[in-house]
Amino acid sequence: MKVLINTPDLAFHGGVSNHFKGLRPYWSQNVKYNFIGGRKGVPGPLLLIYDYIKFFFLCVFGKYDIIILNPSLGKTALKRDALFLKISKWFKIKTVVFFHGWSNDIVKELNTNSTKFNERFNKADKIIVLAQAFKENLIKWGITKPIYLTTTKVNDGLLQKFDFNKKGWNQNILFLTRIETYKGIFTTLEAFMVVKSKIPNATLTIAGDGNQLVKAKDFVQKNKIQDVQFLGNISGKILSETFTDSAIYILPSHSEGMPTSVLEAMAFGLPIITRPVGGLVDFFEEYRMGFLIESLEPKDYADKIIHLLENPDKCKEIGKYNNEYAKKHFLASKVALDIESKLKSL
């Protein structure tokens, strides 16, 4: 089986590129990546015509059995990938559309009128999504092609030197994702202020980059919040050490597909405090894995953090369960084979 996957440049820290970078060592079939969008310092819109021409010739000469397109549910990505899909189907190549990010604003628009979306993406042979709710949306909009669920992944190598039984338990809270308002950075900082007033030894580590990084640092300085560390983008050994040196993972995100950082935190034995968004609700076991909090009120997150920090035995119990669950379900080696099994029926 020869497969072509459209993906952003793997040098990016985005969810799609990170996903396929992690899966790359574990494909058992003949899989080739075709990079699209911005790369090597050139913005994506300037490369769009080139990407279409290159894709056209790959369809002509590549002799691919299956093509996988990877849009998010956003206006730009949907328009771009609708044309990629049209090209691949013009050459009668089996094509799978894998929707990653899921915009609530686009959902509202499609709930009102999904005719054009339906006409474009019902041309796919299969569709893959990261949450049962996403599947239900697609069916509601009139998609009749088979829809399958999958998950993001945890790189096997990331856990290579991690031993849960040797994990130290401190009072560090970890926020690791894009530094954006919709990811919950300011909810996290305000919650930490409440935690700090109750547990003076608590610390907060913030890892990642984003449009709100400067404002987040200004917020910390303005409010004189102590023991907050900003690491920027991290990977490899530093990423593993950061997870290992933390006790709780927090992500008060407004919307998600299936956040890789949550799965990684689980694999490193951290209790999770997040929101019922995306694919998390399909597997998350309340209290056994941590807490799903519907609201965006900082105090609600602070209360759960304080509860866990004041009950370290419970923290360890949740952490052990998360570690075992993640290794069983989310390792990249298993996710790659699962996706291949979904493709083989084509």
pLDDT tens, residue order, the chain (346 aa): 999 999 999 988 778 998 999 999 999 999 999 999 999 889 999 999 999 999 999 999 999 999 999 999 999 999 999 999 999 999 999 999 999 988 889 999 999 999 999 999 999 999 999 999 999 999 999 999 999 999 999 999 999 999 999 898 899 999 999 999 999 999 999 999 999 999 999 999 999 999 999 999 999 999 999 999 999 999 889 999 999 999 999 999 998 889 999 999 999 999 999 999 999 999 999 999 999 999 999 999 999 999 999 999 999 999 999 999 999 999 999 999 999 999 998 8
Considering the domain architecture, whether residues 53 and 123 belong to the same structural domain is answered as: yes
Considering the domain architecture, whether residues 229 and 146 belong to the same structural domain is answered as: no
Number of domains the chain is built from? 2
SS3 231: strand
Considering the domain architecture, whether residues 202 and 311 belong to the same structural domain is answered as: yes
The DSSP code sequence of 114-164 is: -HHHHHHHTTSSEEEES-HHHHHHHHHTT--S-EEE----B-GGGGTT--G
pTM reported for the whole predicted model: 0.89
> What CATH number did the domain enclosing 43 receive?
3.40.50.11930
Considering the domain architecture, whether residues 140 and 171 belong to the same structural domain is answered as: no
Contact 294, 184 (CB under 8 A): no
Considering the domain architecture, whether residues 145 and 161 belong to the same structural domain is answered as: no
Q: What are the tokens at 234? A: 């991290």
Query: What range does the domain containing 237 cover?
Result: 157-329
Considering the domain architecture, whether residues 135 and 197 belong to the same structural domain is answered as: no
